[in-house]
A = this chain, B = another copy of it.
Amino acid sequence: MIADILYHEVEKKGPICVGLDTDVSYIPKNFMEKFNTIEESIFRFNQKIIDATSDIAACFKVQIAYYEACGLNGLMAYKKTLEYLRSLKLITIADIKRGDIAKTAEMYAKAHFEGDFESDYITVNPYMGLDSLTPYLKYVKENQKGLFALIRTSNPGAEDIQYIEDRKGIRVYQHVGEKLQKLGLDFMGSCGYSSIGGVVGCTHIEEGLDLRKKLNHTFFLIPGYGAQGGGAKEAAVYLRNGNGGVVNSSRAVLLAYKKVEGGENEFDICARNEVIKMREEIQNELSI
């Protein structure tokens, strides 16, 4: 089960996920100019970030939108980035948030769990219902793959749909969480967590505490740290003994060099320092 592998990575390295949301504008100009193609520049930038953080990040999340925005060249860089991560046996999360009917979901599974864009985990959107997840499950069972499904996201507009309350006062995101945890029970690792995980924003402490308590077998992917306004306190509530979740930071890591004079020449070292700082901030909250 992929959940066990991820759990052990967190035990070894801490609960940090580095997000490779690589906007071309993030790449320092003098580094960019070393390469002939956009594809090569993006990939080489990612490679430097990966090399500088692979011993302190439990996993890497690649947000496909940034690569799609550069068209076919961007997707070549996406493919090469995933291949490089896999060659180092690092855990990859493809942040693709797909969600579609059975036959289409089969195609997405084929696209992102094998072939050019193979990844260990993918993120999925549950709006179309649980049968939209079914085609992925055989990969979870047979090929050490995993899912992170959206539960409660960290953007301001999340409340539009996710906060709708039923007659008993239970919110849509709470229903989604419960359904996912139930589905996940068939895909439990020996670590106590399922390979069907959930995405939860680190912006509300009380919600986080409640979700952690109720979804006791759900491993969390926690975005929203740093650039999206969430802090160590908000993220830490989702962890149990420092595990059971990974906190993602993308922009704050990739752009850490902008806060340092001359940082563009050592953007990888700046990224590493940012991950170490973030890991410390979260660990300090855990010990409180």
Query: Which residues from B are CB-within-8-Å of A155?
Result: 101-102, 128-129, 131-132
Among B69, B158, B176, the residue within 8 A (CB) of A107 is B69
Question: Across the two chains, which residue of chain B brings its CB closest to A73?
Answer: B116
Q: Is A130 an interface residue (CB 8 A)?
A: yes
User: By the criterion CB–CB under 8 Å, are B154 and A164 in contact?
Assistant: no
Taken together as a complex, chains A and B put the C-alpha atoms of A130 and B161 apart, in Å, by 9
Query: Which residues from B are CB-within-8-Å of A102?
Result: 155
User: By the criterion CB–CB under 8 Å, are B129 and A162 in contact?
Assistant: yes
Question: Across the two chains, which residue of chain B brings its CB closest to A224?
Answer: B101
Residues of A within 8 A of B (CB): 21, 23, 63, 65-66, 68-72, 74-76, 79, 97-105, 107-108, 110-112, 115-117, 125-132, 150, 153-162, 164-167, 172, 175-176, 179, 228
Per CB-CB distance, the 8 closest pairs between chain A and chain B, nearest first, are A129-B157, A71-B116, A131-B157, A68-B111, A129-B160, A65-B107, A127-B127, A69-B107
Query: Which residues from B are CB-within-8-Å of A75?
Result: 72, 75
Question: Across the two chains, which residue of chain B brings its CB closest to A129?
Answer: B157
12 A-B pairs within 8 Å (CB atoms) are namely A23-B107, A69-B108, A97-B99, A99-B125, A101-B228, A129-B153, A129-B159, A130-B157, A131-B155, A132-B155, A161-B172, A165-B167
Taken together as a complex, chains A and B put the C-alpha atoms of A228 and B162 apart, in Å, by 28
Among B112, B125, B131, the residue within 8 A (CB) of A125 is B125
Taken together as a complex, chains A and B put the C-alpha atoms of A159 and B130 apart, in Å, by 9
User: By the criterion CB–CB under 8 Å, are B161 and A126 in contact?
Assistant: yes
Question: A169 CB to closest chain B CB, in angstroms?
Answer: 8
A110-B165 contact given A128-B158, A155-B101, CB 8 Å threshold: no
Query: Which residues from B are CB-within-8-Å of A127?
Result: 99, 125-127, 150, 153, 161-162
User: By the criterion CB–CB under 8 Å, are A104 and B150 in contact?
Assistant: no
Taken together as a complex, chains A and B put the C-alpha atoms of A166 and B103 apart, in Å, by 31
Question: A8 CB to closest chain B CB, in angstroms?
Answer: 29
